[in-house]
A and B are shown apart, each in its own frame.
Chain A
């Protein structure tokens, strides 16, 4: 398996959104930029830049070198992308999602569900719905029977896709 630059950018977009993509483009062009430099170049808030950098660093997509800025008497962090880690990151994320989907499949197979129809509200099991007198605790609307067939088939499809990817 191999991943090109576009794949790396796509992954970064999934993780950090468009702003992370802008940062990644800068780091691909000029590895070793500091957070200050990135914020100035992109005219972004430095705190927001750092937040994105740390998010990507948590997933091992970025690495940094620490240097001492004698002029300002402080430490600076020079960031670079770790392209060789990308496939590992994707596989780790896919494994996590795969386990979650297995859990969800079991949950939707085992229980009977009631739902208010509001996409921001969850589907409640029969026991839970009974406790709340078939009224959604989030929006207050009536809870109706929910057929889990569409979500189960979606879960199965996704599981198959991930199995193909993970080999």
Chain B
């Protein structure tokens, strides 16, 4: 059977949990942040656990037994591709070793790499300045 599509509220809950990473969040805190009742909240958590997106770990907090919700998935970060000329290039499918076009002749990819390293060095310089002041 095909799993049903993730609901907006489930997506919102997962997004929130992903912010906290491996630390996770107590379920009561999540319900509070989402603005839902504990009944609805538990249903969301169980659904997410069934999909393998989170795990519910038993924990003693605030004088009672509760569950900590820990995400099992990681957000996919597309920033590595940011500024890259390749995905939008018309030669994207014909560029590489033993192909019609070679990246060794591409000025765009060189400029992308160099501009990224320049940005990084700027950040380092700014940090050094901050520390001095």
Contacts and interface: CB of A to CB of B under 8 A. Distances in A.
A157 B117 contact: yes
B76 A2 contact: yes
Interface in B59-88: 73-84, 86-88
Interface residues of B, number: 38
A96 B81 contact: no
B4 interface: no
A11 B15 contact: no
Interface string B83-113: 1101110001001110000111111011101
B22 to A, nearest CB: 15
Interface SS of chain A: helix
A104 interface: yes
A59 B87 CA distance: 9
A165 B87 contact: no
Interface stretch (A38-46, A63-71, A73-81, A115-123): A115-123
Interface SS of chain B: helix
B74 A123 contact: no
Interface string A3-39: 1100100110011110000000000000000000000
A100 B83 CA distance: 16
B97 A1 contact: no
Contacts of B29: none
A104 B103 contact: yes
Contacts of A86: 76
B101 to A, nearest CB: 10
Nearest to A166: B80
Q: How large is the interface on A (under 10, 10 to 19, 20 to 34, 35 or more residues)?
A: 35 or more
A17 B89 CA distance: 12
Given A103-B102, A104-B104, A161 B97 contact: no
A167 to B, nearest CB: 10
Contacts of B80: 94, 158, 161-162, 165
A66 B14 CA distance: 35
B104 A150 contact: no
Contacts of B111: 119
B126 interface: no
Interface in A45-101: 55, 59, 86-87, 90, 93-94, 96-97, 99-101
A87 B76 contact: yes
Contacts of B9: none
A104 to B, nearest CB: 5
Contacts of A3: 75-76, 78
A94 B81 CA distance: 7
18 contacts: A1-B73, A1-B74, A2-B18, A3-B75, A7-B78, A14-B78, A93-B81, A93-B84, A99-B96, A99-B97, A103-B96, A104-B110, A122-B105, A154-B114, A154-B116, A154-B117, A158-B80, A158-B116
